[in-house]
Every structure is written in C-alpha cells, then in structure tokens.
With several copies, the nearest count.
Chain A
C-alpha cells in the first residue's frame, strides 16, 4: 500500500558545495556580469543582515529576523521575477524585496516598528511582510486570480517556511490554486527549523515537495544554497506558469545558520556540530569559489565589493535614522479611507489628551 515511498521528486543542483559546476549552465546564465550581480546581492543581503542585528542589539530597531544562509533563495526570486509579477513575501525575503524596489530604510522602518516601512515608495503592488504564518499564501492565490482576471501573463510569487507547511492555509491555498488554475508560484524556504522545531517533528512527509501532490501541483526540490540552481528553476517554473496558467511549487533546501530572530537563542536546541556542517554548505562561499575558479574573481575584487555593499547599507541606515517620526495621531488615519465619526472623536480626544501619554 505504501506506493508513495517509491515516488521521488526531482532534485536540482548546479553548484556543489565546493563551487564546482555539476552540469553546464544554460546560455542565459553564462554571463559574467549576471553571475557577479548575483554574488553582489548575496553579499549585500548578508551585510545588511549583520548590520540589522547590530542595530537591534543597540536598540535602534526591534526584533529582527535574519536570512543568513538563505540568501540564495531571495536573490534568485528577485532576479527571476518580472517587474509586474507580484511578490507576496515572508520575513526571510529581503534579498527579493530589495530587487523589487523596497529600500533598506523601508526594511529598517518595518523592523523599527514604523508602518511607513510597508508603504513602499517604489513598489506599488507587492505585499508587505506577513507575520501570521502561512496566511500570505491565501493572499497570493487572490493576487493570482486578479492577474489572470485582468488577462495579464503575470505570476503571483509567494514564499513561506517549512514550518508554514503545517498550517491549514498552506494546504487550502495550494488546493484552491490548482482547482481554480491560478498562476501562482509557491516557494518554500525549507531551512529545516521552525524556531526550535526540527523538520522531522513538523511532518512525516517524505519531502516538502511531496505536499504539492495532494493539491495536484507539480513540484521540484532545489538546492536552496545554490543561487544558480534556484534561478534556473524559478525561471523555468515562471515560464511554465505563464504558459499553462497553473500553479507550481519549489522546495528550496537550505539551513538556518542563525537564530530564528534576535529574540531567539538557537544554541538551546540546535546541535553545534550540525550547524558547523551546515555553515560549510552556505551559498556565499560556494558562489565565491565558483566565481574564483571560473571567472577570475579575486580577493581584492571581493573586498571592494564588500566595502561597496557596506557603504550602500550605511547610507541607508543614516537615512533611516534621520527620518522624521510619524505624527502622533497618524495611527487613526489609515483604518478606513475616511475616518468614521466614532474614530474621529477618538482621535480628537487623543490629540487633546496627548499630554497624558507619558
């Protein structure tokens, strides 16, 4: 009866952990500029992460969720998507967001407890970060519906973690997307942990990709630490979705080589040796080795790149810190298009009583 044990989902990888190319790249990727641009995004995300953690430690922003070790996923997503596709992210997708017009200072505002960080100045349609796990997948199928309804050939791209795949909303969304033929791409960041809960306690499914089967969605596993494999497979999936109008799922296999958030202490539950092994497989080292061996990437160039990235980030931090605060009563103004009478009264009371707020 256990036929399913025989079912293997395809696994895709181009670079091994030493940065050795396992098979030839498609022509579109045989482009040094692009390969370096990808590396830059990996580094930029890594450095931003480190900066943000420091800003949290010094109280300049609040709790922050790193993407450390998982930067290849977001980097590839951002590169593969068209500008008028719609991205519905979760909190480890900074690498995508910055490619889609979201600024570092907006990201800092968000984690700094300021709603204006989600009012992207240069990105009209993408969703902002979603906190209640997996709920964003439902939004994505609605976005996909709208894109299709408007006869666009665009795709709603949505991400979530491995833990998120245990939620009803994950499954309801997959099932509905397939039943209704909606152009949605589901990308799962399988970083092996949901805070302290390891994957094997999360599910008995053979892989996360297997979860697509019950919805009738084709799926593939990809090495999520291999930005090339990610980019190739996301691009292929997007193309397939644009053609077929039907959903697709990608499981990106990676590892969370950091705390869950700055409020977490992973050493309580993560085996140090396993972590060390995982660190060896992370995407930056690998891509750098690949560039070094194949594209004359030097330590010097590397240093310059890091320096340049850090400077870009530091400037954003400056802009963030010099941003004027919201007006005190602003939080009333966006509840409805127009302030209803009862809320207007509350706002007036608030303004009058401002002196009573310590």
Chain B
C-alpha cells in the first residue's frame, strides 16, 4: 500500500500501464525531462526512455491528430494537454476524428487514446487556466469523459481509461491534485467506467457532483447531517456515458436532488442529469431539482474566482431550501 496524492496516483497509474503494455506512448508539452508542469509524468522519461515518453512541439491540434494516427496503427496514445484551456484548438481533431474513426470505418480503424488535461479553477491561476467545459465533450458522440475525485479513483479510472478501446477525455481536477493522500495498492486494477460511485448513503436528498467539487459536496453533506439532513452523495465519475440509473435509484429513494458543478450553468452536464430525472423520476420528486453551478460568465480572474465557484454554503443553502420545499 502506498500513500499517494492524486497527482502521485496518476503518475503511478501511468507507470503501471507503461510497464504492462509496450505499445503505450506518452507525450505532450513538457512531459519529458520536466515531468509535466504538475509533475504527472515525473520520472517516466527516465524509466521508459525518450522513445515512449517525449515532448512535442507546441501544437495541440497536431498532438491529438498524431494520437489518432498512432492509435489507428495499434499504439495506445496518452496525450497530455497542459491545461484544459488549451484543448480547444484540438477539438476539431477530437470531435471530427477521434470520436468518429471507429464508426466511420465500421470498426476497421479504432482510436484507443487517452487525452489527459488538468481542469477546473481554484488554484489562483491566470486566465484560461481554470476551465471546466466537460459538457462540450459530453455532447460529442463517441467519446468517454472521465473525471476522478480522489487519488484512488484517479488511479483506477485512469487505468480503465488506458485499457478502454475507445477515446477517453480524462479530466484531472487540479485543485485537489495534492489535497490529501490515500492508501493505494499499485496493482494495476481498473475501476469500472460508465458508473457512478455512491460516496455517502442517505435518505433525504441526493447530491450529485464530480471532480474537485466533490470536496464541497461531501463537506456540505457532513454539515447537513449535523442539521439532521441525511444526504446521499454521488460522484458521477464518468460524465459520458452517464450512469443515470444509479442517480435515478438514489432520487427515487430520496425524492430530492441537487447537482453541483463548477462549469457554467447553461447546457452544463447538470442540465442533462436534471432533464433525465425530470423525464424518468418525475413521480418521485418531492421538490424541484436544483443546480448549484458556476455562472454563465467567464470564470473571473483569480481575485474573484471564489465568487464564481460553488461553495459549501451555497450547496447547504440549496439543500435546505429543497428540504423545506412544499
């Protein structure tokens, strides 16, 4: 057992899979000697050599396009996009090709790639370094979008993503990269994709979130418990495809639901969850579904980013309002 932060867990998951499969290559900007700006790939070039771990020129579209070409010929490409804010010039390659290659060729060519990117706010970074646009990727048919919220889930889900035969966008909540350690066995064991994780059972209200916001969500559940409100907490983990059944099961039990995400509200992933509940769980609902989210504004520069991001208090307030709803 090892005591790892999330960034360490990611680093070790990568190393573990690199050892297990010679066809895996890791690349991106500054992932080699420098080991990534967050050190996710620290030591990997030393262990696996420049042939398998290397820096590319500064060109996100070519990085992802190249991954697709590699994957089509039997490699497993793990590309790092330095920050999610710099993934947009590669969206064309992701949407038009990575997500479509299998379908386009009726399974003849496939695209087992993992695109890793740190995402989310709260670390006092400059503009464009606090993006959380997972909903844009969740809208794209053919992708998986996976977001861990703890070191252990980062380890197990990243391994699952690498082993998955289809393209995975793996978004790493950088705010909690170093926020606490967890005991992890470096056994190469994957966690299931396409499934939620119930992190806390409860009967009064369901709180759904993912990534770094799990922290505030779990804290809110704790404080709500002190007020006698027993919240069930769900980590969505795989954003796409959505494991709606687990959420429905929970909401059918609790009758109330709050969805928490950092991303802008309009057309965020919260909307999809709410829409599905409104269709499939409407008779169970005892109160309107609330979304506690970022606003439809640009994430403010860091002096004011705390105003933008959902706080524990906002979640609690919303939960109490929901509980009081008649």
Contact = CB atoms under 8 A, between A and B. Distances in A.
B194 A340 contact: yes
A125 B73 contact: yes
A337 B142 CA distance: 10
A12 interface: no
Interface in B62-77: 62, 64-75, 77
A269 interface: yes
A131 B126 contact: yes
Given A138-B68, A263-B37, A132 B108 contact: no
Interface string B286-326: 00000000011110111111111001111011000000000
Given A337-B110, A356-B314, A147 B296 contact: no
A142 interface: yes
A115 B108 contact: no
Contacts of B306: 357-358
A296 interface: no
A341 B194 contact: yes
Contact-size category for B: 35 or more
A233 B36 CA distance: 37
A203 B57 CA distance: 7
A139 B69 contact: yes
| Most central of A127, A334, A337, A353 by chain B CB within 10 Å | A334
Contacts, number: 265
Nearest to B301: A113
Contacts of A119: 105-108
B141 A335 contact: yes
Interface in A303-358: 325-326, 328-332, 334-337, 340-343, 346-347, 350, 353, 355-358
A125 B110 CA distance: 10
B61 A268 contact: no
B30 A146 contact: no
Contact of B301 (A114, A120, A194, A329): A114
Interface residues of A, number: 82
A141 interface: yes
A342 B266 contact: yes
Interface in B16-45: 25, 29-30, 32-35, 37
A135 B296 contact: no
Contacts of B92: 132, 135, 169
Given A138-B61, A194-B58, A341-B243, A147 B301 contact: no
A186 interface: no
B311 A358 contact: yes
A195 interface: yes
A15 interface: no
B105 A176 contact: no
B249 interface: no
A118 B124 contact: no
B60 to A, nearest CB: 8
Nearest to B142: A335
Contacts of B59: 166-168, 172, 175-176
15 contacts: A62-B126, A88-B69, A115-B103, A132-B128, A138-B62, A142-B65, A142-B69, A142-B71, A143-B69, A145-B69, A150-B73, A167-B60, A196-B30, A334-B103, A346-B265
Given A139-B69, A197-B57, A201-B55, 20 more contacts: A62-B124, A62-B126, A113-B301, A113-B302, A131-B127, A142-B66, A146-B69, A149-B51, A167-B60, A175-B59, A331-B103, A331-B295, A331-B307, A334-B106, A340-B241, A341-B245, A343-B241, A350-B295, A350-B307, A356-B316
